[in-house]
A and B are shown apart, each in its own frame.
Chain A
Amino acid sequence: MLAFVLRRLGVMLLTALALTFIVFALTNLQPNLEKLAKSEASVRMSDDAVRAWLSENGYSGTMISRYGQWLGVLPGWTGATADGTATGRCVERGVAAEATPRFCGILQGDWGQSTVFKKPVLDMLGRALGHTGWLMLAVMLVMVPTALLIGVLAGMREGSKTDRVLSTAAIATTATPEYVSGVIFIALFASATAGISPLLVEWGWLTGRKTLFQGTATSAMDDITFWNFALPVMTIALYGIGYIARMTRASMTEVMTQQYIRTARLKGVGFGQVVMKHALRNALIAPFTVIMLQFPWLLNGVVIVETLFNYKGFGWTLVQAAGNNDIDMLLACSVVAVFVVLLTQLISDIGYVFLNPRIRLS
């Protein structure tokens, strides 16, 4: 077990290194750097001025050496401006030259400066992840129980009418990407001119506000209410519900055909008892893996939904950083994303072993 986890951790580390290097290389392509120079200094710079700016700000070294600096395994670049002030990756205003550290990469806890938000990356990222954390928590609380319930109900009696209706509904939700369901939800529930809100107002069921739900989640960053948070949560959860429900259904139908279920039935145990006591635990092994592997998917959904509902969390930050080639921010975002993906894979593997005693890793 330990060897397995260690080997997986090793592969994870290698993957994370490779991925961050790819992101680093793609964000540091020459045209991207030129764009950065122009947006940071002045739009009408000549090519020579761009080159000078890049070398003054430490972008002239080789890709590998700069990646090493970002990582913190190579000493940060140093230089001096025309008037003799020392500059460098690790130089900070108000810190004496002797006290300036040689290394300052992410290994030293220095994640750099965001060029879009003009703030340290770590501050921005911390706040954004906090917002996204609440969103994810709400999504999980809605998605997992609903999906499992639908899956178990559908898989309990394969081929029944309940099964057909629920399975078709599950297929329909997996066919609806977040940007489609979000748009439809807003049009239906959060528009003052279309959907059901005008009707509700007319009937007098809705007082004090014009729409049933709010079409933007900006206010949810300070204060989460059902009114402003329901639509984003529903939008993300919907896509996952169908997928997890289908997996649960498949696993449940398989379990229901097992010998021990028939034995229990023949012994005279009631159907409800059989489902709750005998089938459920075994049927939930596969969905557990699926739920864990759903996290990377949720990450995608989060990016779309946060953009659509203007909720300034991790996904919104990622889009802003990517749209403006904010290198340090983008790298930090990809580190987070990659670790979320790889950690959930590891947890799902380990969890699988604990849940299913038939699997041995060695």
Chain B
Amino acid sequence: MEPLSWGAIFAKAAMQFWPVWAAMLVTFFLSTALKRRLGLYGKLFDSTVGMFGFGIVTFWVFTAVFADQIITHDPLAQLSGMKNALPGMAVKSPAEGGYPFYLFGGDSLARDVFSRMVMGARDVLKIAPAATVFAFMVGVTLGLPAGYFGGKLDTFLSFLANLVLAFPVILLFYLLVTPEIVQTGIPVIFAAILFVFPIVFFTILFNSRFHMNPAKRNLYVGLTLALGLWAYSGLAFNADPVGLFSMDPNLLNVFVSVVFVNSPGVFRIVRGLVMDIKARDYVAAGQTRGESSWYIMLWEILPNARGPLIVDFCLRIGYTTILLGTLGFFGLGVSPESPDWGSTIDDGRKLLAIFPHAAVVPALALMSLVLGLNLLADGLREESLKD
């Protein structure tokens, strides 16, 4: 069979993405129809930049969700004769009912670049948002008291945060994400410390709100503790009695390192916001009413700091994606088979000057996702300032 022309390649690739287009259409239709009732999310559809960013981000999210339907070949399968195949090349001896083309070409191990790129989206979007959420939990739980109480606690925590921030990220990764470190059990200790923060956060959150109403308090705090400790035992120590929560040691190491690198940044932002907001009148009113400090921090200050925090959250997911790519680029942590974008760029760069497609495709994918997140953050910032 003849190789495809560039137009045909993109047309066929676009057709392969049909579940994504359908899902995006539904999302946009529903969101624009209901945008007056959806708060900040709805207002996003008033800003061109924000909508554009949101479009790119939803594209990748749905790609990750429907990856199994989109891929044309098994991302790990090596087909004979397709080594470094150019984009649009027909598969030499197609299997019965198999897809007849390598849309974006083959890599140096004769795997389909298109399918690997699509599967890579799933790999990246599985880790980056979750790691960012954990980093936020750590940063918020420590940043609130540091900013609110100040004093020795603040000095100490700020020193620790600056310590981590002064580390060149790559050096830290090279030290933390190695097979030797997994042997020593340090990632498990890190996980044990970092994964406690979400539980602490939600326990304090509910306790400070409902401590006057023991029935409700016991329900919420009990639920948090039960669910939290269950997930905690599985994720951190791989000791979940039911076996629902578990994490591969290498993945855990990558995850923990990324959370660790990200949380001081969140801490600094939260601390700064709290120091600004705590001088407001409604905080003074809360203090006069005799509210507990944690109630004021979590239920009065935090909701009022949400604008900048949401913006930072979007930016930080992009930054985390870049960090994960950096890890892959240096061949750290994830398995060499993994189709995540950083590793595929690293694989592809060895033959970059001759067969650029293997590295350029994941590079463009990563860039567009981060760009989408940045545009989304910009749109959110613009809209949240209009209040």
Residues in chain B within 8 A of chain A (CB atoms): 49, 159, 162-163, 166-171, 174-176, 178, 180-181, 183-184, 186, 318, 322, 325-326, 329-330, 342, 345, 348-349, 352-357, 359-360, 363-364, 366-367, 370-371, 373-375, 378
Q: Nearest chain B CB to A337's CB is how many angstroms away?
A: 5
The docked-state distance in angstroms from the alpha carbon of A303 to that of B172 is: 13
Tell which of A31, A194, A215, A300 touches B168, judged by Cβ atoms closer than 8 Å.
A300
Residues of A close to B374: CB separation below 8 A: 171, 174-175
Contact partners of A334 in chain B: CB under 8 A? 167-168, 171
* With A29-B181, A187-B356, A338-B166: A322-B175 Cβ-Cβ less than 8 Å: yes
Q: How far is the CA of A322 from the CA of B375 in the complex (A)?
A: 35
Q: Which of A179, A192, A337 touches B171 (beta carbons < 8 Å)?
A: A337
Beyond A171-B378, A176-B367, A193-B354, is A341–B166 a contact (Cβ under 8 Å)? Answer: yes
A166 in contact (CB, < 8 A): no
- Taking Cβ atoms with an 8 Å cutoff, the residues of A that contact B are 11, 14-15, 18-19, 23, 26-27, 29-32, 35, 168, 171-172, 174-177, 179-180, 183-184, 186-187, 190-195, 211, 215, 296, 299-300, 303-304, 307-308, 318-319, 322-323, 325, 330, 333-334, 337-338, 341-342
Q: Contact check, A319 vs B180: say whether CB atoms are below 8 A apart.
A: no
Is A191 within 8 A of B371, CB to CB? no
Q: Are B166 and A15 in contact (CB under 8 A)?
A: yes
Whose C-beta in chain B lies nearest to the C-beta of A187?
Answer: B356
Return chain A residues, CB-CB under 8 Å to B326: 177, 179, 300, 304
Q: Is the interface of B mostly helix, strand, loop or mixed?
A: helix
A186–B356 CB distance below 8 A: yes
B359 contacts A183, CB within 8 Å?
Answer: yes
Give which listed residue, B167, B174, B175, B367, contacts A175 with CB less than 8 A.
B367
Contact partner, B348, options A168, A171, A183, Cβ 8 Å: A183
Known pairs A27-B175, A174-B374, A179-B326. 4 more at Cβ < 8 A? A176-B367, A183-B363, A296-B168, A322-B171
Residues in B with CB closer than 8 Å to A323 are 174
B322 touches A177 (CB 8 A): yes
Is A322 a contact partner of B167 (Cβ separation < 8 A)? Answer: no
Once the chains bind, are B367 and A180 in contact (CB under 8 Å)? yes
- Output the least CB separation between B189 and chain A (Å): 13
Q: Which residue of A lies closest to B331 (CB)?
A: A323
Chain A residues with CB under 8 A of B353: 186, 190-193, 211, 215
Contact, CB under 8 Å: B174 / A32 = no
The answer on a CB contact under 8 Å between A35 and B363 is no
**Contact A171-B325, Cβ < 8 Å, known A180-B345, A183-B352, A190-B353:** no
Contact residue among B49, B175, B356 (Cβ-Cβ distance under 8 Å from A191): B356
Residues of chain B contacted by A177 (CB below 8 angstroms) = 322, 325-326, 366-367, 370
Answer whether A168 and B166 are a contact pair too, CB < 8 Å, given A177-B370, A304-B326: no
Instruction: Give which listed residue, A296, A308, A330, A338, contacts B349 with CB less than 8 A.
Output: A308
Contact A32 B180 (CB under 8 A): yes
> Which residues of chain A have C-beta atoms less than 8 A from B169's C-beta?
300
Chain B residues in 8 Å Cβ range of A325: 180
B330 pairs with A307, CB closer than 8 A: yes
Are A175 and B348 interface neighbours, CB within 8 A? Answer: no
A27 to B175, CA, bound (A): 7
Residues of B within 8 A of A171 (CB): 371, 374-375, 378
Please give, as numbers and ranges, the residues of chain A lying within 8 Å of B356 by CB-CB distance: 183, 186-187, 191, 193-195
Q: Across the interface, which residues of A come within 8 angstroms of B375, CB to CB?
A: 171
Chain B contacts for A168, CB-based, 8 A: 49
- Residues of chain A within 8 A (CB-CB) of B176 are 26
Q: Which of B159, B163, B184, B345 contacts A179 (CB 8 A)?
A: B345
Chain A residues with Cβ under 8 A from B352's Cβ?
183, 186-187, 191, 215
Given contacts A191-B354, A191-B356, A215-B352, contact A303 B168 (CB under 8 A): yes
| Closest CB in chain B relative to A150 CB, distance in Å | 16
Inter-chain contact B363/A322, CB cutoff 8 Å: no
CA of A26 to CA of B180 in the docked complex: distance in angstroms?
A: 10
Task: Report chain B residues within 8 Å CB of A337.
Answer: 167-168, 171
Using CB atoms, name the residue of chain A closest to B330.
A319
Residues of B within 8 A of A31 (CB): 180-181, 183-184
B329 and chain A: residue at smallest CB distance: A179
Q: Are B345 and A342 in contact (CB under 8 A)?
A: no
Give the residue among B162, B170, B345, B373 with the most A Cβ atoms within 10 A: B170
- The 9 lowest CB-CB distance pairs between A and B, nearest first, are A187-B356, A322-B174, A175-B371, A31-B180, A175-B370, A26-B175, A180-B363, A177-B322, A337-B168
On whether the beta carbons of B363 and A342 are closer than 8 Å, the reply is no
CB-based contact A23/B354 at 8 Å: no
Residues of B within 8 A of A179 (CB): 325-326, 329, 342, 345, 363
Chain B residues near A29 (CB-CB < 8 A): 180-181, 184, 186
Report the minimum CB–CB distance from B70 to chain A (whole Å): 22
A residues in contact with B348, CB < 8 Å: 183
Closest to A27 in B: B175
Q: 5 A-B residue contacts at CB 8 Å? A: A31-B181, A176-B370, A176-B371, A296-B168, A304-B170
> Given A175-B318, A186-B353, A304–B364 Cβ distance below 8 Å?
no
**Bound complex: CA A307 to CA B350 (Å):** 12
For the complex, give the distance between the alpha carbons of A319 and B49 in Å. 38
Most buried by B among A26, A180, A186: A180
Could you tell me the distance between the alpha carbons of A310 and B281 in the complex, rounded to whole angstroms?
A: 58
> Complex formed: what's the CA distance from A176 to B364 in Å?
9
Residues of A within 8 A of B360 (CB): 183-184, 187
The CA of A256 and the CA of B326, in the complex, are separated in Å by 39
| Whole-angstrom CA separation of A319 from B184 in the bound complex | 22
Q: How far is the CA of A304 from the CA of B322 in the complex (A)?
A: 12
Bound form: Cα–Cα A342–B168 in Å: 11
Specify which chain A residues have a CB less than 8 angstroms from the CB of B162 in the assembled complex.
15
Given the known interface contacts A23-B175, A177-B370, A195-B356, the answer about A303 and B166 at a Cβ–Cβ threshold of 8 Å is no
Q: In chain A, what residue has the closest Cβ to B346?
A: A179
Closest residue of chain B to A338, judged by CB? B166
The answer for the CA separation of A35 and B180 in the assembled complex, in Å, is 9
Enumerate chain B residues within 8 angstroms of A14, measured Cβ to Cβ.
Answer: 159
Rounded to whole angstroms, the CA-CA distance of A325 and B176 in the bound complex is 12
Query: CA A218 – CA B363 in complex, angstroms?
Result: 24
Contact present for A172 and B168 (CB under 8 Å): no
- Residue in chain A with minimal CB distance to B349: A183
